Amino acid sequence: MPFDGGGFGNSERLRELELLLRARRAIDTPQKWCKHRVQARGRLCMAGALMRGAGMTRAKMRWEEPTIMARCVPTMARRGYRILSQYVPERFDGSVEAFNDNSHTRHSDVLEVFDHAITEWTARAGI
Instruction: Express each pLDDT in 60-91 by its tens digit.
Output: 555 454 444 445 556 778 888 899 999 999 99
Burial of 71 (0-12, 13-18, 19+ CB in 10 A): exposed
In a domain, 2, yes or no: no
Residue 26: strand, helix, or coil: helix
Q: What is the pLDDT of residue 1?
A: 34
pLDDT at 109 over 80: yes
In a domain, 103, yes or no: yes
Residue span of the structural domain in which 38 resides: 8-124
In a domain, 40, yes or no: yes
In a domain, 3, yes or no: no
Q: What is the pLDDT of residue 73?
A: 57
pLDDT at 2 over 50: no
